[in-house]
Structure 1
């Protein structure tokens, strides 16, 4: 290899393949799509799990267990380190205060859960739906209190088809 042919064949701006531009282009007639079939049609998109007609893996593997996602609880997670940065000592931290500081947004969840990530040196009165044991220990060690309160926000449910407004 010589220094003058290091960049031979390397193009900074690779040209787009122009298909269907005549037989002389090498990509004429069928535009590199072969003959007939669904993959030659306009707008065709291959399903990413399609296995060429073979029985798909999701149907080959037996079903086991049960999961009812309609009853799954989803919580907004707030860490004690976030409270340390956002609030002054002695503050009552509840849903309204967390919303005002931008730590909680939206209504598509079932409550607020306090977790123990971060350090806490200020004393707070914290009212949340749930909290971890480690988070409660950090709050009480800093001189604060933690109370479990029911969630007051509303969970947004998807509209049922054909439902009428009253």
Structure 2
């Protein structure tokens, strides 16, 4: 087989439709576009997404910068400044904060945030720490332990 022998398969190529060349050609007069209206005229017709003047779908839906998280993680948050009132070398957990009265309710696991200053060394056990909270606790001589 040579390159000049390569031909398309029989029946795969159809001749183009010659419209507007008389009634005997099968597509005479209106060329299959119907009688009147925007879609029968020459030119491209309407742009994609155009709905005849009705507010199109892509403008009706809400514009979101991002999709909301379906099941967001709920944390019980506490700032480093609230831990400053605890005694030195105390072990800080979610249950110990509830007993001490610093927290009154729980929404989920404990997360320590970095707002404020800490002057005492504490052993903090929480599900999550912000970077600033972890650095402040360790700078005061304490330790941070991530618990599941």
TM-score, with normalisation over the residues of structure 2?
0.54
- Return the offset for 1:104: 2.5
Partner of 1:97: 96
Please give the secondary structure, in 1, of the residue aligned with 2:133. helix
> In angstroms, what is the RMSD of aligned CA positions?
1.8
- Aligned counterpart in structure 1 of residue 142 of structure 2, from 141, 144, 147: 144
Provide runs of 4+ in structure 1 moved above 3 Å. 63-66
Aligned residues: 88
State how 1:1-166 maps to structure 2 within 5 Å.
Answer: 61-63=60-62, 66-69=67-70, 71-85=71-85, 87-107=86-106, 109-150=107-148
| Higher-Rg member (1/2) | 2
User: Where in structure 2 are there 5+ consecutive unaligned residues?
Assistant: 1-58
User: Where in structure 1 are there 5+ consecutive unaligned residues?
Assistant: 1-59, 151-166
TM-score, with normalisation over the residues of structure 1?
0.48
Partner of 1:155: none
Spell out, residue by residue over 1:104-131, the C-alpha distance to the aligned partner (whole angstroms, 9 max, x if none): 3334x23111011111110000001111
